[in-house]
Amino acid sequence: MPPTENARFYRNLENAREAARKKNGYDSATTLREMKRIFEVACPGKSPYPWQLDVAEALVLGLDCTVLAGTGFGKTMPFVMPGFITNKMTL
């Protein structure tokens, strides 16, 4: 269960997942599994943190995200990972 302070993010993420599933058959589990697989190929011996996958998926679904974390916590990866599974340019 996500921390209480993140409840709004997770509600928004769940709503976006459901809307995408209804609109175009989006499958969250498949998306997360594929991003994790490609991450692990690109970064041998490492796995993405769950929060990195959540942020990356939110970006794939078109949600705006702000990530606050200290130096070295892996903030860059969630913004790169959508490019693993889409042909769209990511910034």
Note the helical H segments in 1-91.
Answer: 7-24, 28-42, 50-60, 76-80, 82-85
The Cα–Cα gap between 62 and 72 comes to 26
Confidence band, pLDDT 50/70/90 cuts, at residue 1: very low
Which tens digit of pLDDT belongs to each residue from 76-91? 999 999 988 876 665 5
Burial (CB count within 10 angstroms: exposed 0-12, middle 13-18, buried 19+), residue 78: buried
Q: What is the mean pLDDT of the chain?
A: 89
- pTM for the whole structure: 0.86
Buried b (16+ CB within 10 A) or exposed e, 50-72: ebbbbbbbbbbbeeeeeeeeeee
Which tens digit of pLDDT belongs to each residue from 25-72? 999 999 999 999 999 999 999 999 999 999 999 999 999 988 888 899
